[in-house]
Chain A
Amino acid sequence: ETGVTQTPRHLVMGMTNKKSLKCEQHLGHNAMYWYKQSAKKPLELMFVYSLEERVENNSVPSRFSPECPNSSHLFLHLHTLQPEDSALYLCASSPSYRLSGELFFGEGSRLTVL
């Protein structure tokens, strides 16, 4: 596999469910990101990990919980979400945190919260 892969591609969950999004990068990059893309709104940065340490938590509600077990894998754990959390969640990586503008995105996980 190459690039940045995300699973699942589509997810439907109720407000009381717990689910996780997974991201894996095969580019040898040292920084990984979660972005949220909602209709009619710009891409929003949620979390940044550099060398497995969280360096940004962009005022994201605690119902979103990231995990970065190593520099190739990133998870976003979801629990008690709200319908307004329905969006496309994009994982990205960059060669380093210093090059945070040069992002390689995965295909995204489309989340629908009922």
Chain B
Amino acid sequence: QKEVEQNSGPLSVPEGAIASLNCTYSDRGSQSFFWYRQYSGKSPELIMFIYSNGDKEDGRFTAQLNKASQYVSLLIRDSQPSDSATYLCAVNKAAGNKLTFGGGTRVLVKP
């Protein structure tokens, strides 16, 4: 079982719709959770992090964490073509421990 799993996609979303990305992790001791966006040919960029169960909103992005079910999700509202990228989920056991990345979900927003 992979430590951090994501559907590789591509997830095709019409412009203006909600993109929903999921990530599951295997280590119950995981404490902090991160979403990175990586455009083709570019380096990853941190867009969200979440530490507590529940929802966290930042602009058009919402991160959702459910530690009991060991999943974290990212919602992108009002999707734009500029949101087309690969989204990487990353999980940390505790502060300072190794950050483990998933393989990423490729999102395509079609006008």
What is the interface of chain A, defined by CB distance below 8 A to chain B? 40-45, 48, 55-56, 58, 90, 97-108
> Which residue of A56, A101, A108 contacts B92 across the interface (Cβ within 8 Å)?
A101
A residues in contact with B95, CB < 8 Å: 98-100
With an 8 Å Cβ cutoff, the count of chain B residues facing the other chain is 24
B residues in contact with A105, CB < 8 Å: 43-45
Closest to B90 in A: A101
Contact A58 B98 (CB under 8 A): yes
Contact A100 B99 (CB under 8 A): yes
B residues in contact with A45, CB < 8 Å: 98-99
In the complex, number of A-B residue pairs with CB atoms less than 8 Å apart: 54
B residues in contact with A55, CB < 8 Å: 96
What is the interface of chain B, defined by CB distance below 8 A to chain A? 4, 32-34, 36, 42-46, 49, 88, 90, 92, 95-104
Other CB < 8 Å A-B pairs besides A90-B43, A90-B44, 20 of them?
Answer: A41-B103, A42-B4, A42-B88, A42-B100, A42-B103, A45-B99, A58-B98, A97-B96, A100-B92, A100-B95, A100-B96, A100-B97, A100-B99, A101-B32, A101-B49, A101-B92, A102-B49, A103-B99, A105-B45, A107-B43
Q: Which of A43, A56, A97 has the most CB of B within 10 A?
A: A43
Can you name 28 A-B residue pairings with CB atoms under 8 Å? A41-B103, A42-B88, A42-B101, A42-B102, A42-B103, A43-B90, A44-B101, A45-B98, A55-B96, A58-B98, A90-B43, A98-B95, A100-B92, A100-B96, A100-B99, A101-B32, A101-B33, A101-B90, A101-B92, A102-B34, A102-B49, A103-B36, A103-B99, A105-B44, A105-B45, A106-B43, A107-B42, A108-B43
A residues in contact with B99, CB < 8 Å: 45, 100-101, 103
Compute how far the CA of A58 lies from the CA of B92 in the bound complex, rounded to whole angstroms: 15
Contact A101 B34 (CB under 8 A): yes
B residues in contact with A40, CB < 8 Å: 103
Compute how far the CA of A67 lies from the CA of B99 in the bound complex, rounded to whole angstroms: 21
